[in-house]
Amino acid sequence: MLDQRGLQDRYAFVQGLAREAGRLAYDYYKRRAELAIESKGLQDVVSIADKKVEELIRGQLEERFPEDGFLGEETGASEGGGPGQAVWVVDPIDGTSCFLGGMPTWCVSIALVRDGEIEIGVIYDPNVDELYAARRGGGTFLNDKRQPTPPARSVKDGLFGTGFSHRSRPQDLVPFIDALLREGGMFMRNGSGALMLAYVAVGRLVGYYEPHINSWDCLAGLLLVREAGGWTCDFLADDGLTRGNVCAAAAPAVAQAVQDLMARTVPNPFRP
């Protein structure tokens, strides 16, 4: 049985691992013109960098914590799993299209889930050397500095992050953006859901919405938001871990406004 000491050991270890993985990814980023690229679908690409960075992360986690499960964007899920087992959920490079296009809006994202709870979330952005880290019940940290509650009081107080993939339909996002603009808000998209959720956690964005996102893209970021005092939807409901789900997060004072926007514009939105 994984106890608090075991969780703390994993929390400390994975912060160093995220930095190591980020350094490897950044080395590939500097040589991105040389990389072989494959298509996984419409507007969905993968490179050798994604695969090698995930291999590094998976290999070290399996060596250090062989009893844990694994779910990665590139290599899939490990065998086994069951009640009480901890599962690492990993996106080696979230924002691959930006990575390959030379835009510094990508990151390494690692989360640990157990019994329907996100226990650990770590996001590392090697472009600016920022490590976001949270453990359930322990607060959110940016480069070892504990973060205050996001201060936004309204959608008018800053930018609102949005994401989209072609797993969804335009009508799943466009009405939300239209309503947000009518309320005086403004949206942005930087190509990395994980990084934009981290920005919500530290108050750089007032909130985030995406009609469908995979678990490896968002679980670490969702924990960061929660541990900073913000609101998030119940992403893991209805098998969100393996099927993905709608994703929403906001500064605490903005949560009701975001929920109202979703109720008006999003088909079957999740409730808090």
Identify the pLDDT of residue 39.
Answer: 57
Identify the pLDDT of residue 43.
Answer: 40
Identify the pLDDT of residue 168.
Answer: 85
Identify the pLDDT of residue 40.
Answer: 53
End-to-end CA, the chain: 30
What is the Rg, in whole angstroms, of the alpha carbon atoms belonging to the chain? 17
Q: Which residues contact 65 (CB under 8 A, 6 or more apart)?
A: 10, 86, 88
- Give the C-alpha separation, 100 to 97, whole Å: 5
pTM over 0.85: yes
Identify the pLDDT of residue 140.
Answer: 98
What element of type H or E holds 10?
Answer: helix 4-30
Domain ranges of the chain: 4-146, 155-265
Averaged pLDDT in 10-residue chunks for the chain of 272 residues: 92 98 96 75 65 96 96 80 83 94 97 96 98 98 97 96 89 93 96 97 98 96 98 94 95 96 77 42
Task: Return the sign of the alpha-carbon dihedral for residues 255, 258, 263, 266.
Answer: negative
* Fold assignment, 155-265: D-Maltodextrin-Binding Protein; domain 2 (3.40.190)
Q: For residue 177, how far is the Cα from the chain centroid?
A: 21
Q: What is the mean pLDDT of the chain?
A: 92
Torsion angles phi and psi, residue 157, rounded to 5: -85, 0
- Residue 233 burial class via C-beta count within 10 angstroms: exposed 0-12, middle 13-18, buried 19 and up: buried
Q: Match domain 4-146 to its CATH number in 3.30.160.20, 3.30.540.10, 3.40.50.300, 2.60.40.420.
A: 3.30.540.10
- Give the C-alpha separation, 41 to 165, whole Å: 10
